[in-house]
Structure 1
Amino acid sequence: MRKKAKVAGEQRRDLILQTLKEANHPVTGAVLGDLTKVSRQVIVSDINLLKAKNEPIMATNQGYLYTQSTKKVKDVEKIIVCKHTPNQTEEELHILVDHGVTVRDVRVEHPVYGDVRASIMVSNRQEVKIFIEQIQQAQAPYLLNLDESGIHLHAISAPRAEQLHDAEEALKKAGFLIE
């Protein structure tokens, strides 16, 4: 059985870009590596080269995502301010995704670095579960720990403004939303 040859440079990056554009979910570096017959490290380099060409690719905890929407209708976006303990993170995310909201990122203000932002990109309970498990397995602190008050921001989006409003009301009821 003959081993498939790796896909070379520009052709590989074109294939990566096409794959990401066609995917409706994040694609891991391992999957892209298997597709192009190169290592994950080569994929990371290719992704950086594509980003340098202003391709809207986001690295998430679930893989790479092409963020330029091909949808005709754009989601409504908003930034919200929240406060809770690390142990309440899963509850907060469940409240949001249960209202049809995508949690795009988390942002905190660091005393040295200023604004620190990290992609979350969760839209349903399964994605929340995976996110929480990854945090626990890595024994990584939540970004909200960088601010001793626990205050953090989320960029959120949903197809309809009513979904954002209802999610905010639920967060307010839970005592998580700061207005």
Structure 2
Amino acid sequence: MEGQDRRRELTKILEEAKDAVSGTELSKRLGVSRQVIVQDIALLRAVNKNIISTTKGYLIYKQEKQKVNRCFATRHTTDEIEDELNTIVDNGGKILDVIVMHDLYGEISVDLIIKNRKEVADFMAKVRSKRTVPLKDLTGGTHLHTVEADSEEILDQIEQALKDKNYLVSSTSFGKE
């Protein structure tokens, strides 16, 4: 299969997928190596395909027109990660990413795309199984989440729930320890 045809098929697979598709799965389906998939993804991104890489694989992100989003600056312990994420999804939010402001590297952002408790549980299983620290640990627990919701009222509700649990920090103190 020629590169252009393969990238067309790759795009079709991602557009039809209900969930993220792993690079390994894509390489098997298209009969190429994972490295070729990584290169194809980079080429597709260069022509404005909104392909993102999550902990579950690749997906084409399509924001629904009536959605709104807001960034929340939060701080909590590692034991409170699951509660923070569940607080957001239980109140109607979709967690798009996590962002930290590192003293040396600047802004570090990772796409999460977590929209329900099952996805929170799956993410937490990965956190527990890996021998590494969560990104928030690079900045003393302080980090941002971009959250998408159906309305500003839902975002206000999420903000209040995070504030009630003392997870919310003011944006002026973000990145300062």
Distance 1:116 1:32, change over 3 A: same
Matches within 5 A, 1:84-95: 84-95=76-87
Q: What residue is the counterpart of 1:3 in the other structure? A: none
Q: What residue is the counterpart of 1:13 in the other structure? A: 7
Q: What residue is the counterpart of 2:151 in the other structure? A: 160
From 52, 65, 82, the counterpart of 2:46: 52
Q: What residue is the counterpart of 1:117 in the other structure? A: 109
Separation of aligned partners in 2, 1:74 and 1:18: 25
Aligned length: 170
Cα deviation digits, residues 22-50 of structure 1 (max 9, x gap): 22321111222222122222211211111
| Matched residue type, 1:119 | D
Gaps of 5+ in 1: 1-6
| Matched residue type, 1:50 | L
Separation of aligned partners in 2, 1:48 and 1:178: 35
Q: What residue is the counterpart of 1:80 in the other structure? A: 72
Separation of aligned partners in 2, 1:74 and 1:22: 22
From 146, 168, 174, the counterpart of 2:138: 146
Deviation at 1:178, TM superposition (A): 1.6
Q: What residue is the counterpart of 2:62 in the other structure? A: 68
Cα deviation digits, residues 2-60 of structure 1 (max 9, x gap): xxxxx331111001112212223211112222221222222112111111222111000
Q: Does 1:41 align with 2:32?
A: no
| Matched residue type, 1:138 | K
Separation of aligned partners in 2, 1:96 and 1:50: 32
Separation of aligned partners in 1, 2:169 and 2:112: 20
Separation of aligned partners in 1, 2:152 and 2:61: 20
Separation of aligned partners in 2, 1:140 and 1:129: 18
- The secondary structure found in structure 2 opposite 1:178 is coil
Separation of aligned partners in 2, 1:46 and 1:38: 11
Q: What residue is the counterpart of 1:28 in the other structure? A: 22
Separation of aligned partners in 1, 2:150 and 2:19: 17
Deviation at 1:74, TM superposition (A): 3.1
- The secondary structure found in structure 1 opposite 2:62 is coil
Q: What residue is the counterpart of 2:175 in the other structure? A: none
| Matched residue type, 1:147 | T
Separation of aligned partners in 1, 2:114 and 2:105: 25
